[in-house]
Chains A and B, each alone.
Chain A
Amino acid sequence: MAFNSLEYFLFLPLIWLIHHFLGQRFRWLFLLIASYLFYASLKVPYLLGVIAIITLATYGFGHWIHQAKSAEKKQRLLWGGIATNVLILIIMKYIPFLTDNLNALLSFFKSPISLHHAPLFVAIGVSYYIFQAISYLSDIYLEIEEPESHFGYFALYLAFFPKLLQGPIERAGGLLPQLKQKYEFNYNDMRFGLLLFTWGLFKKVVLADRLGLYVDAVYGDVHSYQGLPLILATYGYAFQIYFDFSGYTDMALGTARLFNINLTNNFNRPYLATSIADFWRRWHISFSRWILDYIFKPLQMQWRNGGNWGTAAALLVTFIVSGIWHGANWGFVTWGLLHGLYLACSVFYKPYQKKIHKALHLQKTKVLKAWQIFITFHLVTFAWMFFRVHEFSMLNYLFNNMYFPLNRLVNVNYVENSIIINHDFANFYSLFICLTVYMLFSIFDLLNNVEKFKLPYRWSYYYLLLFIIIIFSKTADHGFIYYEF
């Protein structure tokens, strides 16, 4: 069930109540069952099998690695465990993509052989807990963590429902101790958890979904538009994906908070990043730290004698993998490759860049910072186009028609038709009002500061948020973007 669904609004309080009155002894078991039920509500039975297999295999490999005496054996077991996880991931997500591309290749060489088109499996959540499993095994191998002996807690570490479907990707060292801690009702946790959840809901069902209405209308019928609407839709998508994913993350963190669990923060004002490297320290933080620790750093060390080229290569590989993880199509791979290129290039030009800034006396100035934010945002938004649009023909049309029409801006009709698509004034006004509200609430960081207010003001804020959600949310249902990964 999605976090913004009626079922979840009924599921969560019920689970919380039972959990609250249950003893410490059965807490893990109840949460585990609840998590599996949550996963089962997707109505895809084989997914339960997948997570069960991953849990068993990873639990086993974890102990074997720890118990192995020789370094060689440890390494072999590590690779065995990783290979098992990766194999299952490939089967779930990439078989159709691989067979289709292989077929394309075969037909290119006019080979009589061709493979059957494989069915696409639903794989919600799989990418996330498999990455958790791999991090768990690696941490045991590096002797950063000890294997978890309690199978129940380990299973819960992988399946904990707030983070099951779209992350964050939790490290064993972070989540396991919290799961084992004795639960004590904390009024502040409950209050903040609910508030965070509501804030995430606002971002998702009001901002992300309404931006989505605009973006889908334009991108869904690109050839009818030129210039301004295409630009607005592209910027719109950058914000849509941010609100969608960070909204989900807030709901996940808020839910977990109700159970006294602090999950890792996944976002930190990503569009205020001053460089692509900085962007990746602010966007999907748990994922980017994962690829940093488990792909980039090992590769970079492996190729350290290649100097800058070694690092650049490591960056490219890491981000291509990131692209592939996001999805089995060339759009995602291109997106990943683009970020890899951005970072690889910066390895070479960064020293020169520093010299130029120094020479122009721009170092640490606000002007420089604004410029860097501006450039970074546009690089990222450009890359998002490949994330959203997978057809080459459509991308081609976009690049040819996405100009800023200075001469047409005097035409009021043109501007109006660019901003208001399909006569959807309701959407325009809703977005205008709600984006303004969002900016005000963020600038004053009300999420964290509201607890300092007196009760009437605090409650006014809560009621305001609730009514904004009720009134301005979209009517029809809109799935989460990051579900598909």
Chain B
Amino acid sequence: MNIVKSLTEIFCEVFDDDEIELAPEMTADDIDGWDSLSHVNLIVTIETRFKIKFTQKELLTFKNVGDLMKSIESKI
């Protein structure tokens, strides 16, 4: 299961944009529309799709896509 591929699919879905390409250094500002609402939708979709649960602490400390990916990896 390729995490990056699945994650990219989820991003494209949530932000309604087929052309997103993920890079570890990407932050919230890089993706159009990644404001508070989309962020939450993103997390919920990821949790459902990967069948994992993030802790409150983790969620508040993700700095970029790279942190997100690492965390998903550690939980699968």
A296-B56 in contact (CB<8A): no
8 A-B pairs within 8 Å (CB atoms) are namely: A142-B61, A143-B61, A277-B35, A298-B56, A304-B40, A304-B43, A304-B44, A307-B44
> Does B74 belong to the interface (CB within 8 Å)?
no
Q: What are the residues of chain B within 8 A of A142 when measuring CB–CB?
A: 57, 60-61
- The chain B residue sitting closest to A303, CB to CB, is B40
Q: What are the residues of chain B within 8 A of A300 when measuring CB–CB?
A: 36, 40
Closest CB in chain A relative to B54 CB, distance in Å: 8
Q: What are the residues of chain B within 8 A of A277 when measuring CB–CB?
A: 35
- Considering only residues 299-356 of chain A, those with a C-beta below 8 Å from chain B are 300-302, 304-305, 307, 310-311, 347, 350
Given A297-B36, A298-B56, A298-B60: 18 more A-B contacts, CB < 8 Å: A71-B57, A142-B57, A142-B60, A143-B61, A144-B61, A292-B36, A296-B36, A297-B60, A300-B40, A301-B43, A301-B59, A301-B60, A302-B56, A304-B40, A304-B43, A310-B40, A347-B37, A350-B37
Closest CB in chain B relative to A309 CB, distance in Å: 12
B61-A301 in contact (CB<8A): no
Closest CB in chain B relative to A289 CB, distance in Å: 12
Q: What are the residues of chain B within 8 A of A347 when measuring CB–CB?
A: 37
Closest CB in chain A relative to B57 CB, distance in Å: 6
Q: What are the residues of chain B within 8 A of A144 when measuring CB–CB?
A: 61
- The chain A residue sitting closest to B54, CB to CB, is A301
Q: What are the residues of chain A within 8 A of B35 when measuring CB–CB?
A: 277
- The chain A residue sitting closest to B47, CB to CB, is A304
- 8 nearest A-B pairs in the assembled complex, by CB-CB distance: A301-B59, A142-B61, A304-B40, A304-B44, A142-B60, A300-B40, A301-B56, A304-B43
Q: What are the residues of chain A within 8 A of B43 when measuring CB–CB?
A: 301, 304
Q: How far is B40's CA from A298's CA once the two chains are assembled, in angstroms?
A: 11
Q: How many A-B residue pairs lie within 8 Å, measured between CB atoms?
A: 34
Q: What are the residues of chain A within 8 A of B36 when measuring CB–CB?
A: 292, 296-297, 300, 311
Q: What are the residues of chain A within 8 A of B57 when measuring CB–CB?
A: 71, 141-142
Closest CB in chain B relative to A122 CB, distance in Å: 35
- The chain B residue sitting closest to A277, CB to CB, is B35
Q: How far is B60's CA from A301's CA once the two chains are assembled, in angstroms?
A: 9
- Considering only residues 29-74 of chain B, those with a C-beta below 8 Å from chain A are 35-37, 40, 43-44, 56-57, 59-61
Closest CB in chain B relative to A279 CB, distance in Å: 14
- The chain B residue sitting closest to A71, CB to CB, is B57
Q: How far is B57's CA from A296's CA once the two chains are assembled, in angstroms?
A: 14
- The chain B residue sitting closest to A315, CB to CB, is B36
Closest CB in chain A relative to B28 CB, distance in Å: 11
- Considering only residues 278-302 of chain A, those with a C-beta below 8 Å from chain B are 292-293, 296-298, 300-302
Q: How far is B43's CA from A307's CA once the two chains are assembled, in angstroms?
A: 11
Q: What are the residues of chain B within 8 A of A302 when measuring CB–CB?
A: 56
* Interface-centre pick from A142, A304, A305 (highest chain B CB count, 10 A): A304
Q: How far is B37's CA from A143's CA once the two chains are assembled, in angstroms?
A: 25
Q: B44's contact among A141, A293, A305, by CB below 8 Å, is which?
A: A305
Please encode chain A, from 62 to 94, with 1 for each CB lying within 8 Å of some chain B CB and 0 for all others. 000000000100000000000000000000000
Closest CB in chain A relative to B41 CB, distance in Å: 9
Q: What are the residues of chain B within 8 A of A301 when measuring CB–CB?
A: 40, 43, 56, 59-60
Closest CB in chain B relative to A77 CB, distance in Å: 14
- The chain B residue sitting closest to A294, CB to CB, is B60
- Considering only residues 344-398 of chain A, those with a C-beta below 8 Å from chain B are 347, 350
Q: What are the residues of chain B within 8 A of A141 when measuring CB–CB?
A: 57
Closest CB in chain B relative to A477 CB, distance in Å: 42
Q: How far is B36's CA from A293's CA once the two chains are assembled, in angstroms?
A: 11
* Interface-centre pick from A296, A301, A302, A311 (highest chain B CB count, 10 A): A301
Closest CB in chain B relative to A296 CB, distance in Å: 7
Q: What are the residues of chain B within 8 A of A297 when measuring CB–CB?
A: 36, 60
Closest CB in chain B relative to A322 CB, distance in Å: 16
Q: How far is B67's CA from A108's CA once the two chains are assembled, in angstroms?
A: 54
Closest CB in chain A relative to B26 CB, distance in Å: 19
Closest CB in chain B relative to A307 CB, distance in Å: 8
Q: How far is B61's CA from A293's CA once the two chains are assembled, in angstroms?
A: 11
Q: What are the residues of chain A within 8 A of B61 when measuring CB–CB?
A: 142-144
Closest CB in chain A relative to B66 CB, distance in Å: 16
Q: What are the residues of chain A within 8 A of B56 when measuring CB–CB?
A: 298, 301-302
Q: What are the residues of chain B within 8 A of A311 when measuring CB–CB?
A: 36-37, 40
Q: How far is B60's CA from A144's CA once the two chains are assembled, in angstroms?
A: 10
* Interface-centre pick from B40, B57, B59, B60 (highest chain A CB count, 10 A): B40
- The chain A residue sitting closest to B57, CB to CB, is A142
Closest CB in chain B relative to A188 CB, distance in Å: 29
Q: What are the residues of chain B within 8 A of A296 when measuring CB–CB?
A: 36
Q: How far is B37's CA from A297's CA once the two chains are assembled, in angstroms?
A: 10
Q: How far is B56's CA from A277's CA once the two chains are assembled, in angstroms?
A: 24
Q: What are the residues of chain A within 8 A of B37 when measuring CB–CB?
A: 311, 347, 350
Closest CB in chain B relative to A273 CB, distance in Å: 14
Q: How far is B58's CA from A301's CA once the two chains are assembled, in angstroms?
A: 11
- The chain B residue sitting closest to A343, CB to CB, is B36
Q: What are the residues of chain A within 8 A of B59 when measuring CB–CB?
A: 301
- The chain B residue sitting closest to A302, CB to CB, is B56
